[in-house]
Each structure stands twice: as structure tokens, then as C-alpha cells.
């Protein structure tokens, strides 16, 4: 399986920076499966011009057109968007997204044939053996097939802090989650890691047993860092 590299721009890149970014990422030489997740306002620029797969950072779970400021699965599909990030901790903290909302978004993405990248993680003072099964159970309610879901393990304390677990700890947790999901769904999950991933640590992280890729945050809008990341894999 090809390694998956998800570049989550968050609110980065100004309009006059977008075309240079697209041009240089089009020139990346890699066998990895690259998914670029720009701000929603740039989605069409990327789907029309990028050589790579494009994902959205958010999606509403209701396709009713009467929701000001939201974006639907139908709109994403019409643009050619293939992936969507669901459950990112910044959405939980800043927009009070509950497990039920995340579950509804996940169901809608799957119904619309958009591949969800489902984020989950624990804080530093939480026992992952208790926290993660509870989270995943709430997110995956009524989900019968996990084949099309990418599970992005992002420990909360590692998001944007420069601090992340040791490779041994990541391997331990990834193994725990993989076993948990495999027992429950009889399928081996596609697991990636996120949380302070940089060009300096990408090689060690992406080669941990059980990890099929990474999700990179704000620095993924820095084209020089992106090129270093690809070169260091």
C-alpha cells in the first residue's frame, strides 16, 4: 500500500501564493498518495489545477440548502473533492462538535462516496486504553464497514505544539487501535499519524509498523517544508 501524506493547510495561504504552491507540488517526485486539503475558498483552484488528490477540511452532515456558511457533500463532489477531514480536535474545541455530529458527518461522507479522514486522539493526562475505544465507538455508531475510512491518530497534546509521543509510544497506541478495530469490524484499518509532523521527524514516524501515512498541519502550506518532507521519506 502506498504511504498517504495528507497536507492540512488550515487557514494558511493567501490567494497570490496558491498558484506557486500548486505548481511546485505538481513537480513533486514521489510514489506516495498525496492529499492536499486547502481552505474551502481554494478548493476549485486545486481540483482544477493540482495533479494530486484534493480533500476538504470540513463538511456539513445535512444536504439541506438552508444552512448559511456551510458546505455540503454534494458541493464537494461537484468540485471533484475526493476526501474530507472529520473530527479534528480544533473543530471539537472551537465549534463544540460532539461525537454525534462527527458520526453524522462520517455517515454523510460515506454515503456521498467521499473518503473520510477520521481524526481521533487523547490528551496527555488520559489513558488511551479507556479514551480511544469510547471515542471511536461514538464516531462509528451505525458504521458497518470501515474499508473506506482513514483513521488519523492525533494525540491532542501534539497538535501544533511541537511535542509528540516517542516512536515506541506511537507504535504501541497504533497497535492497540488496530487490534481494537480489527476485532470489532473484522477488517484491518488504514491508520495514519498526525501531530507535530515535520521534515525532521517524518522518516521515523512514517516507518513505524502499522502506520500507513501521516497528516501534516499548518507547515504543509510552506512549500519548502513540503519538499523537504517528500525528500526525507
Residues carrying an active site annotation? 88, 154
Query: Cα(191)–Cα(172) distance, rounded to whole angstroms?
Result: 13
DSSP class of residue 2 equals P
Cα-based distances in Å from 73 to 120, 154, 173: 21, 24, 32
Query: Cα(57)–Cα(42) distance, rounded to whole angstroms?
Result: 11
Question: 36: which strand partners?
Answer: 7, 54
SS3 213: strand
Positive or negative: CA dihedral 60, 64, 67, 73:
positive
- Per-residue burial over 117-138, b if 16 or more Cβ lie within 10 Å, else e, is bbbbbbeeeeebeeebeebbee
Burial class (CB in 10 A: 0-12, 13-18, 19+), 99: middle
Nearest CA among 112, 106, 187 for reference residue 139: 106
Nearest-10 crossing angle of helices 128-139, 99-111: 50
Amino acid at each position: 500500500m502506498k504511504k498517504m501524506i495528507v497536507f492540512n493547510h488550515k487557514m494558511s495561504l493567501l490567494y497570490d501564493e496558491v498558484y506557486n504552491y500548486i505548481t511546485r507540488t505538481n513537480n513533486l517526485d514521489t510514489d506516495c498518495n498525496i492529499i492536499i486539503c486547502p481552505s474551502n475558498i481554494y478548493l476549485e483552484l486545486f481540483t482544477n489545477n493540482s495533479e494530486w488528490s484534493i480533500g476538504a477540511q470540513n463538511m456539513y452532515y445535512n444536504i439541506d440548502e438552508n444552512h448559511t456558511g456551510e458546505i455540503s457533500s454534494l458541493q464537494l463532489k461537484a468540485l471533484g473533492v475526493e476526501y474530507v477531514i472529520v473530527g479534528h480536535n480544533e473543530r471539537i474545541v472551537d465549534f463544540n462538535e460532539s461525537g454525534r455530529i462527527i458520526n453524522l458527518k462520517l455517515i454523510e461522507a460515506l454515503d456521498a462516496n467521499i473518503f473520510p479522514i477520521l481524526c481521533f486522539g487523547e490528551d496527555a493526562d488520559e489513558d488511551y486504553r479507556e479514551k480511544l475505544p469510547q471515542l471511536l465507538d461514538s464516531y462509528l455508531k451505525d458504521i458497518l464497514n470501515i474499508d473506506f475510512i482513514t483513521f488519523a491518530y492525533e494525540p491532542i497534546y501534539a497538535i501544533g505544539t511541537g511535542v509528540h509521543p516517542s516512536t515506541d509510544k506511537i507504535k504501541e497506541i497504533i497497535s492497540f487501535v488496530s487490534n481494537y478495530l480489527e476485532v470489532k469490524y473484522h477488517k484491518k484499518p488504514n491508520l495514519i499519524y498526525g501531530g507535530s509532523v515535520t521534515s525532521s521527524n517524518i522518516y521515523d514516524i512514517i516507518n513505524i509498523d502499522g502506520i500507513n501515512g501521516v497528516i501534516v498541519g499548518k507547515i504543509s502550506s510552506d512549500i519548502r517544508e513540503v519538499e523537504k518532507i517528500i525528500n526525507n521519506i
